[in-house]
Amino acid sequence: MSKGEFLEARQLTVDIGEMEDVITVRSVEGLIQWLHLRVVNFGIDSEDLGEHISAAIELAKLADKYNIAGLEAVMAQHIKNIIIANPGSKAKSPVQSFRYGDANAHWLTFDHIVSAAVLPREHPVRRLIAAASVSGYLQSVEYKLFAEETQNCPSFGADLLREVRLTLNGTFFTRDSTAIYYNDPISGTKIISRGF
């Protein structure tokens, strides 16, 4: 095959078309920003934090699809910054949150989990989504009743159990063994849990 046989090679363009939740206008715009400026601004209303998380997951999926290195950690950190800076108590619509009363997972939806679950198992964004659910899972009885989500997305259940195991590796019990202390995988703060 001689060099330049393809129309794309001569025009320096590629038609990638839209793919739901992967190749969207905002993910392509984000990718172009990243490639040229090494920063990404999604241009979304700052109040809609769930949309910021969706956009970051879309961009991570696009970068993964085309093997663009460097964006995975940046998008994971972007999502982590949103979670830390905006605890669930400030949510516009608690009904839309994925978990009950957990500040880390308050802005996450089932769509975020499904979307992140298609990323490779060790992908920083996929791991972050599971890690954001750990504290709620360990602290709340209602939180543990997420059978529907794990049945509809079994890989999320496996991811969550892995992140719980990693979190519990650093735990210790109180003297009377009625509670454990562990470091929250998102904020790093020490948390006491009595719900076991």
CA distances to 53, 81, 130, 195 from 150, in Å = 20, 26, 12, 21
Q: Which residue has the higher pLDDT, 1 or 55?
A: 55
Q: What is the pLDDT of residue 195?
A: 55
Q: What is the pLDDT of residue 158?
A: 92
Q: What is the pLDDT of residue 24?
A: 83
Q: Kindly state whether residue 180 falls inside one of the protein's structural domains.
A: no
Q: Kindly state whether residue 57 falls inside one of the protein's structural domains.
A: yes
| Three-state SS letters, the chain | CCCCCCHHHHHCCCCCCCECCCECHHHHHHHHHHHHHCCCCCCCCCCCHHHHHHHHHHHHHHHHHCCCCCHHHHHHHHHHHHHHHCCHHHCCCHHHCCCCCCCCCCCCCHHHHHHHHCCCCCCHHHHHHHHCCHHHHHHCCHHHCCHHHHHHCHHHHHHHHHHHHHHHCCCEECCCCCCEEEECCCCCCEEEECCC
How many domains, the chain? 1
**Spatial distance between the Cα atoms of 124 and 63, rounded to a whole number of angstroms:** 13
Q: Kindly state whether residue 86 falls inside one of the protein's structural domains.
A: yes
Q: Kindly state whether residue 141 falls inside one of the protein's structural domains.
A: yes
Q: What is the pLDDT of residues 120-175, one digit of tens each?
A: 999 999 999 999 988 888 776 666 546 667 778 889 989 999 999 999 997 887 77
Under the banding of pLDDT at 50, 70 and 90, the label for residue 97 is very low
Task: Tell me which residue range forms the domain holding 57.
Answer: 7-170
Q: What is the pLDDT of residues 32-90, one digit of tens each?
A: 999 999 888 887 766 778 899 999 999 999 999 989 999 999 999 999 999 998 876 54
Q: Kindly state whether residue 60 falls inside one of the protein's structural domains.
A: yes
**pLDDT at 117 exceeding the cut of 90:** yes
- Size of the chain, expressed as the number of residues it contains: 196
CA distances to 73, 84, 98, 152 from 170, in Å = 23, 21, 26, 30
Q: What is the pLDDT of residue 6?
A: 44
Q: Kindly state whether residue 165 falls inside one of the protein's structural domains.
A: yes
Under the banding of pLDDT at 50, 70 and 90, the label for residue 191 is confident
Amino acid identity at 148: E
**pLDDT at 21 exceeding the cut of 60:** no
Q: Kindly state whether residue 73 falls inside one of the protein's structural domains.
A: yes
Dihedrals φ, ψ of 121, to 5°? Answer: -55, -40
Q: Kindly state whether residue 90 falls inside one of the protein's structural domains.
A: yes
